[in-house]
A = this chain, B = another copy of it.
Amino acid sequence: MQALGRHLLLELFDCDAEALNSLETVKASMVEAAKRAQATIVDVVFHEFNPFGISGVVVIAESHLAIHTWPEYRYAAVDVFSCGDVLQPQTAANYLVEQLGACRASVVELQRGIFLQAAPMPHKPSGAKAAIAKVPVTKVPVAKVPVARAPVARAPVARVPVARVPVARVPVGG
């Protein structure tokens, strides 16, 4: 079984509310987290919402990091989606726990793009570009057939209990 991507879902609770409400702090933390994880940053987009809350994405060559903060609940949701073997998503996760002062955190890792084959699946195999052009696209004549609706499973995010260890707080520059 092979997977193309790794996806860490971080739930950060009891964070430093001021940090979560600061565009500069959140942005700097996410960019630095990406760098520490050995990611290649392609684009950085952050927005502050009215009356509060920050949303931001660091697009990386290896996929993306995203964050949404709810300072009013001292909560932040972070996603670290990566592919390839170089990136260290857990390094980014640990750094963000620290920078945002999360007293409680859970991390769930999902594998994305699972294929049931045993052979390795190189990220960008040579010769695949030509193969793409040759992939036959099945044209099925459809007469207003409704789109197949995939049933959605409602699974609560698995909570990994984390001991309430005080986390080292490093002051964020800027």
Contacts and interface: CB of A to CB of B under 8 A. Distances in A.
Contacts of A123: 70
Interface string A63-99: 1101010111111010101010000001001110110
Interface string A94-124: 1101100101011111111111000001011
A43 B49 CA distance: 13
A59 B64 contact: no
B155 A112 contact: no
Contacts of A68: 5, 63-64, 81, 83
Given A59-B47, A59-B57, A109 B79 contact: no
Nearest to A166: B140
Interface string A45-69: 1010101110111010101101010
Given A45-B57, A169-B139, A150 B160 contact: yes
Interface of A: 1, 3-5, 7-9, 11, 16-18, 21, 42-43, 45, 47, 49, 51-53, 55-57, 59, 61, 63-64, 66, 68, 70-75, 77, 79, 81, 83, 90, 93-95, 97-98, 101, 103, 105-115, 121, 123-125, 128-129, 131-133, 135, 137-140, 142, 144-160, 162-163, 165-169
Contacts of A125: 72
Nearest to A9: B110
Nearest to A98: B147
Given A16-B137, A72-B131, A150 B53 contact: no
